Structure formats: C-alpha cells, structure tokens
C-alpha cells in the first residue's frame, strides 16, 4: 500500500515540475516552400507608399487594429478580437450536459468549454521585390488563440489554409487599385 502511494506521489511530483521542450522547435518543416507560396504575392505598384497605404487600408477593411509599423523593414503587425462562438459546438456540449444531468451526475458544465472569442494576430511584410524592379512582395502570416467561456486557452494555431490568404490578397489587389486610381 505504502509503495503504491509513494509511486503515485512521485509521478504527480514529476508531472508537476518537469518541463519538456519540444524537439526540433526551430527546424524548417518540409512544407515550408508550399506555405511560403500560399502566404506570398508579388504586386506591381508605382511606389512603396502606395502599397503600404493600400495594405493598411485593407487591414482596416478586415477590422484589424494596426499594432506596429516598421517602415524601413516593411513590417506591419495588426490584431483583432472576434467572436468564436460555434452553434454546432454549443449544441453538442449542451447535449453532453443534458446526458450528464439525466445520469444524475453533479457539476455538469460542459458548456463552459465552448469557444468564446478568438484573438487573431497578423503580420504583413511588404518589401521591394528582389527579383523584379518596380514590384513589391507581400507576405502574410496569421495565427490565433481561441479562448473558451472560462477564458482558458482552447486552441493555439497558425492559419495555413490557402483560401484565407487568397481572400486577403484579393482584397489587397482591390485596395491597391482604389489607392492608385484615386490619385
């Protein structure tokens, strides 16, 4: 009996204190080139100011707040907090709570695990193209944190799907057209 308790406590102690760092945390994944091409576009524009202004405008269109701009490096960082409620998820969790209550269990609170809001951070780097003069490359990286109803982190992820990036670049093209056309 005492040996069992000792083992249990030892495991608890190790679990509580040990911090394991992920291996290969800074190793380039094999998908690097594919992701890079999804996140990058080259755009022809008369001036650096035009493309930076159009980029800021498109971020505002998408309801982002601009956090920081470092013009010499072409870095624009923006963020926004949006609703992450999912009706299907809430229905599922409510069903779990009902099942739990019917089973006579106490503390049925699966709903508190439902997604509440998401914090999205976006970096856009706009620089003169190295390959073609008069053109600019724009590269975007996006990540988000989703919190549940109890403000616990539920999801930490970077956004990799091509459709999202394509949508932003389509908006940027339109914004650039309006920016240059308005002169």
Partner 1 sequence: MSDSLQLLPLLGLLLLAGCATTPANVAGAGTQLETRQIQTREYDTLDKAMTMRSVIATLQDLGFTIDQADAELGTITATRLHEHTMRMTVTVVQKDGLRIAVRANARIGENSVTDAATYQDFFVALDKAMFLTLHKVD
d(CA 124, CA 140): 4
> Taking Cα atoms as reference points, which of 74, 166, 163, 59 lies closest to residue 127?
74
CB 13 to partner 1: min, Å: 5
Q: Which is nearer to partner 1, 84 or 93 (CB)?
A: 84
Instruction: Please count the residues of this chain forming the interface with partner 1, following the rule CB under 8 A.
Output: 48
Task: Find the shortest distance in angstroms from Cβ 7 to partner 1.
Answer: 10
- CB of 146: closest distance to partner 1 in angstroms? 10
| Residue owning tokens 């005492």 | 2
Min separation Cβ 144 and partner 1, Å:
7
DSSP tag of 129? -
Helix (H) or strand (E) holding 90: helix 87-102
Output 121 or 164, the one with its CB closest to partner 1.
121
| 131-170 residues near partner 1, rule: CB under 8 A | 131, 137, 139, 141-145, 156-158
Give the CA dihedral 24, 28, 32, 35, nearest 10 degrees. Answer: 50
Question: Which residues in the 82-141 window bind partner 1 by CB under 8 A?
Answer: 121-123, 125, 127, 129-131, 137, 139, 141
> Which residues lie closer than 8 Å to 14 by C-beta, 6 or more apart?
none
Token pair for 21: 């760092």
Which residue is listed with tokens 């940027």? 172
The site for partner 1 (CB under 8 A) is made up of: 1-2, 5-6, 9, 12-13, 16-17, 19, 21-22, 24-28, 32, 35-36, 39-40, 42, 67-68, 70, 72-73, 75, 77, 121-123, 125, 127, 129-131, 137, 139, 141-145, 156-158
């Amino acid at each position: 009996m005492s040996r069992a308790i000792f083992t249990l406590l030892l495991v608890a102690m190790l679990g509580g204190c040990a911090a394991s760092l992920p291996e290969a945390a800074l190793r380039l994944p094999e998908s690097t080139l594919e992701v890079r091409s999804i996140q990058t576009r080259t755009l022809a524009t008369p001036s650096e100011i035009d493309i930076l202004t159009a980029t800021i405008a498109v971020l505002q269109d998408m309801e982002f707040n601009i956090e920081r701009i470092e013009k010499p490096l072409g870095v624009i960082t923006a963020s926004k907090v949006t609703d992450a409620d999912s009706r299907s998820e809430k229905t599922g969790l409510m069903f779990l709570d009902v099942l739990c209550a019917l089973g006579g269990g106490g503390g049925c609170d699966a709903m508190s695990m439902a997604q509440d809001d998401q914090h999205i951070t976006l970096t856009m780097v706009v620089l003169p193209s190295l390959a073609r003069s008069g053109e600019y490359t724009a590269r975007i990286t996006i990540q988000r944190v989703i919190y549940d109803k109890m403000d616990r982190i539920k999801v930490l992820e970077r956004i990799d799907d091509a459709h999202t990036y394509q949508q932003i670049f389509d908006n940027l093209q339109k914004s650039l057209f309006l920016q240059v056309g308005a002169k």
